[in-house]
Amino acid sequence: MDILKSLGHPEEIYNLFKFKMGGCRAVMPKLDYESMSETLRTCYVYLNQTSRSFAAVIQALDGELRHAVCIFYLVLRALDTVEDDMTIPLEKKVPLLHDFHTFLYEPDWCFTESKEKDRQVLEDFPSISVEFRNLGQEYQDVISDICHRMGVGMAEFLEKKVGTMQEWDKYCHYVAGLVGMGLSQLFSASQLEDPEVGRDTELANSMGLFLQKTNIIRDYLEDQQEGRVFWPQEAWSQFASHLQDFAQPQNLSSALACLNLLVTDALRHVPDVIAYLSRLRNQSVFNFCAIPQVMAIATLSACYNNPQVFQGVVKIRKGQAVTLMMEATNMQAVQSIIAQYTQEILQKVSLSDPSRDKTLCILGVIQEKTLSKTALPSRAHHLSPFYLSAAMLLAALSWQYLSVTQSPGSTDMQGS
């Protein structure tokens, strides 16, 4: 149970209680569905059904940008559903991926042959495409372009496995870096952010690569069980003959060495993440960008040198996720969070780890970036042990009460 996992972290219990009582309205606002068209309401239903991670922060974006990003997400979700569906033969899938961007301008186009869990975004694609065409031309141009480039990239890797580290970067660019670039262009098109945010494709690409690499690292076992391979061969072949060998207990030492190598590679994007976030001026855009990034570095910290990556699922605690969501609202707080998890990883670096020197080097660069301005305030709560224990007990009892009395129709935050 999440409340028990958070007992050693009293600030998480407090934030869980606060979140449960509705103290996170700024991050998860209630939308005015009555003012929307029927198809736009349907799009937001699909958004909440298909995205646990991004639905909340998308709906918190300001003005027309909210609808543009919602449609952008659903278009790419539909494209991704085609790529993921192993029941679609390659001779049909490749043209679908190449031409998908053209379907945005075909009012009646839909695809009813998918067996994937998110197939409703394909079956009811006309509801999404009509709202795409209702967007301003500046938004349509960005979404169509990114959809086209991503479809071509996905098709390239359908039959080609990720071999070199350079190919790992290329694959992550196609499936996530392009998303970061497209979002940045949407931010600038909305005029909520400076044009330079959309123009600097290198920083935007790094934002996507950091998130995607974190997901790939964390999902080792799930991908193995589903027959998918995203860890680059150049990395794992240094430590094993086959990637699946890492799941065997006798190969734990080699598995951890490869894991730490990939975490180190992902961490090299963090300085770019800090630079990107430092440019943002709109609060809703900052929250949208910062929250997934701090979740990612918390996840990487949990994964680093952790055997559980090869035995099950590594997740950050729900209380931890809520705390990060509530705290990552300004650059100083984000720097403090990154510094905290950087320090956690540093404390776990082994003297015998083959990537030790590279890991220490990038951690040093990140620490320098997080402490480059003024000394950051402590995020610790300075409470006496007596009051701390009392607060923990009160929060635990309150959480139990709310869990029992919560009505069936109410919503709760999904696990990370």
| Phi, psi values for residue 295, rounded to 5° | -60, -40
- Give dist(CA 103, CA 146) in Å, integer: 14
- Catalytic annotation present for 66: no
CA 144 to chain CA mean position, Å: 22
| Phi, psi values for residue 114, rounded to 5° | -80, 145
- Catalytic annotation present for 228: yes
DSSP one-letter string for 87-134: TS-HHHHHHHHHHGGGGGG-TT-------STTTHHHHTHHHHHHHHHH
- The residue written with tokens 């098109």 in the block is 189
The count of other CB atoms within 10 Å of the CB of residue 389 is: 12
* Region at 232 (left for phi over 0; alpha for psi -120 to 50; beta for the rest): beta
Instruction: Given the residues 14, 218, 220, 246, select the one marked as catalytic.
Output: 218
- Catalytic annotation present for 279: no
Instruction: Given the residues 125, 139, 288, 341, select the one marked as catalytic.
Output: 288
- Give dist(CA 214, CA 243) in Å, integer: 18
- Catalytic annotation present for 288: yes
Instruction: Given the residues 14, 100, 111, 171, select the one marked as catalytic.
Output: 171
Instruction: Given the residues 133, 228, 281, 379, select the one marked as catalytic.
Output: 228
Burial class (CB in 10 A: 0-12, 13-18, 19+), 325: buried
Could you list the active site residues? Answer: 171, 218, 228, 288
